[in-house]
Structure 1
Amino acid sequence: MVVGGAACLSLTAVFISLADVGAGTAAFLRCAIALAVLLPLALYERRRHRAFPRRLRGPALLAGVFLGVDYVMWTVSILDVGAAVATVLLNIQVIAFPLLARILGGDRIPRRFAYASPLMLAGLALAAGLLDHSDQARHPLRGALLGLAAGVAYAAYLYLIRLCGVASPQHSVTPVFLSTLAAAATSGVLALFTTGLTLAVPLASWGWLIALALLGQVAAWILIGRGTPRVTPNAAAALLLLQPIMAVACAMLLLGESPTALQLAGCAVVVAAVWFAGRTPARRRSRRAP
């Protein structure tokens, strides 16, 4: 489920670029369109499994606030540094998500993860193009900072939505509906004061925005919301790292972007570091065998 959600998310940067609308407009409409699909699904889920617990509604709404902030900053980052690089920057969550789970939830961080963290950061720096300059980057410094900040907000969303999933596993749609509602409000308000918000969108752009809402919002977050409670935060973060790799391939094939050799090397370093962090030592595997 987490891998499927990551695959859906990997297409979002491409859809945003093809929609060719403002950052705030894309973030708001992505959520607003998704609500039309999530509302009937949430009502059906309520009939089947009763109401979503009141004590979890606050965390779900707060998760949506972080998601709305993430969307606006990340969309600006896409326009600044390109779809592939922005998606890699967003995945600072690989480090931030397990750290939040450790600080707030007491989840243990394996030593391998701590050892691999510097390599992850180095790989993210290479993938962001900090050591070379691509002609596709309009504002490389601003895009890098916004992409990293969006990644921290993304990690906060993942932690809170996982918390809801662990506490009430039978509800997979309602937390996504509540968080999407809060994200729509948050991104709409931020857009009004920053990038601007307009609903006068060309017809072709509406098609890409609908695809963005259905795949990048509804399908992706329902799959991730159902999958992340079943694995550890470290494993979930590692599986979600498949997203930038898929996004780089999609951006190269569909948008004609050409990441530099150092950026591609950075992607490889990140994947290798996460594989090392999540690998179970041979001796531990042999103990678990009986």
Structure 2
Amino acid sequence: MERTAAVWGMTTAALAVSASAVVISVSGTAPGTASFWRCLMALPALVPAALWERRRSGAPSRRALLTAAVAGVLFAGDMLLWTQAISEVGAGLSTVLVNLQVVLVPVLAWLVDRERMTRSFFVCAPVMLAGVLCTAGLLDRAPAGADPVWGTVHALLAALCYSGFLFLLRRGGQGAPPVQPYVLVMVAATVASLAAGAWWYGLDLTPAAPALGWLALVALSSQIVGWLLVAVCSPKLSSQLGAVLLLLTPIGSVVLGAVVLGEHPSPWQLVGCALILAGAFRLAVARK
């Protein structure tokens, strides 16, 4: 029963997060602004939940809190780089590229935990790399996106940060109360987004009311619902099943990008998208 609830929780989380790329694009805000405000506006709802958990289950260990702080910094890097990629390669394709985490997380598990690499990894990784090249528009005369090459670079760097974030979020949530570390993830991400946004990615501390409204929607769908559910549910599932369920995020983003934003990837970019998703799915279900 607990596993079934976790599956539905992860499914809900993936679909909730899938809308964030489109909503951020509609908001028209810079990466620093979007990353800072989406985390900050989630805290008033998350902090009471953390205090309730603390009274009920006690405080997490110092190691869990340190892991959460590092995960928060990586999450900020993921948000900043990915938001930059949205304007360059599109909401849908940028989200597909970021989900190369299905390849990168096993590499982290091998490097850190000495988890065995399977034959499927070495078969699927080149297929997904070919998908990246197609998605970047290297085979097109007029690929979709304002700057698909740099968009791909930023999305791949975001994938590295995203992979580290997921690895630490799942690892830190095993055998520990999940909400308190997650709130620390959001606090660390808020501070890191504030610092990096002011330095590089553009930060507006007084965005217009319409933009703030869109970012509040992202905070609700992603930070309060989506990623909190991932923090709670992912430790209860195998890494393989969790990875498969998170693939609903890029699929939803591609569909919403086409319907809401009118994004029309080129045929080669769609081929690249399909290669990445097919390789990621095969890799996830084959990791045993």
TM-score (norm 2): 0.91
Code of the residue aligned with 1:87 in structure 2: it is T
The answer on 1:74 being equivalent to 2:94 is: no
Q: Deviation at 1:85?
A: 1.6
Question: Which of 208, 229, 233 matches 1:227?
Answer: 233
Where do 5+ consecutive residues of structure 2 fail to align?
1-8
Code of the residue aligned with 1:180 in structure 2: it is M
Given that 1:3 and 1:242 are in contact with CA atoms closer than 8 Å, whether structure 2 keeps it comes out as: yes
2: CA distance, partners of 1:260 / 1:132:
8
Alpha-carbon spacing, 1:59–1:261, altered in 2? closer, same or farther (3 Å): same
Question: Which of 269, 280, 288 matches 1:274?
Answer: 280
> Match of 2:189?
183
> Match of 1:85?
93
Alpha-carbon spacing, 1:80–1:271, altered in 2? closer, same or farther (3 Å): closer
> Match of 1:62?
70
Q: Deviation at 1:232?
A: 3.2
> Match of 1:157?
165
Given that 2:89 and 2:145 are in contact with CA atoms closer than 8 Å, whether structure 1 keeps it comes out as: yes
Q: Deviations 1:185-222 (Å, cap 9, x if unpaired)?
A: 00110011112211222221122111100111121111
Given that 1:98 and 1:109 are in contact with CA atoms closer than 8 Å, whether structure 2 keeps it comes out as: yes
2: CA distance, partners of 1:117 / 1:4:
28
Given that 1:59 and 1:164 are in contact with CA atoms closer than 8 Å, whether structure 2 keeps it comes out as: yes
> Match of 2:213?
207
> Match of 1:115?
123
1: CA distance, partners of 2:134 / 2:111:
28
Q: Secondary structure at the match of 2:36?
A: helix
Question: Which of 244, 250, 258 matches 1:238?
Answer: 244
Superposed, which structure 2 residues align to 1:2-81 within 5 Å? Answer: 2-81=10-89
Given that 1:98 and 1:237 are in contact with CA atoms closer than 8 Å, whether structure 2 keeps it comes out as: no
Q: Deviation at 1:38?
A: 0.9
Q: How many equivalent pairs are there?
A: 280
Superposed, which structure 2 residues align to 1:132-171 within 5 Å? Answer: 132=140, 134=142, 136-168=144-176, 171=177
Code of the residue aligned with 1:43 in structure 2: it is L
Q: Deviation at 1:94?
A: 1.5
Alpha-carbon spacing, 1:243–1:129, altered in 2? closer, same or farther (3 Å): farther
Given that 2:143 and 2:269 are in contact with CA atoms closer than 8 Å, whether structure 1 keeps it comes out as: no
Given that 1:66 and 1:157 are in contact with CA atoms closer than 8 Å, whether structure 2 keeps it comes out as: yes
Where do 5+ consecutive residues of structure 1 fail to align?
285-290
Given that 2:92 and 2:254 are in contact with CA atoms closer than 8 Å, whether structure 1 keeps it comes out as: yes
Code of the residue aligned with 2:197 in structure 1: it is A
Cα RMSD (Å)? 1.9
1: CA distance, partners of 2:126 / 2:71:
28
